[in-house]
Amino acid sequence: MPHRVKSFVLPLVAAIAFSLTGCGSERSSTSISENKEAQQQQIVGTNGQLIAIQSDNVRAAGYDADSLVMTVQFDNGALYEYHDVPADLWESFISAQPHPWSQVGYPRLVQGGVSYKRVG
């Protein structure tokens, strides 16, 4: 192959290979990004399991993101389920420790008119 053709073909092949590699990594980063979002969505809540809460009057709470049910157990043992609770309310509740009930629970659940029932 003449020297001129080699000097033209090799950079062209390298550029094409680089472009193809770049496309593949973009797809990979998109897949990684989508995977992280899916994992974050799975992390919201406790799958209904009660976890200890740092609070003056709430002993434990849990949230099921699939059914949108938030369960709250008070220090006196009373257990309540709140229905159609959005995930952001649960996250606000958890973030409001050590005063989740007075800062979030009572104003947004009780005064907000969220339907509930005592289950224990």
pLDDT in 10s for each residue of the chain, 120 residues: 555 545 545 555 455 555 555 555 454 555 665 655 555 445 689 999 999 999 999 999 999 999 999 999 999 999 999 999 999 999 999 999 999 999 999 999 999 999 999 999
pLDDT at 35: 57
pLDDT at 25: 47
Count Cα atoms within 13 angstroms, Cβ side, for 62.
Answer: 14
Instruction: Please give the model's pTM, rounded to 2 decimal places.
Output: 0.65
pLDDT at 14: 53
CB of 120 within 8 A of CB of 79?
yes
The domain spans of the chain are 1-43, 51-118
* Number of other residues whose CB lies within 10 A of the CB of residue 65: 19
pLDDT at 29: 53
pLDDT at 30: 57
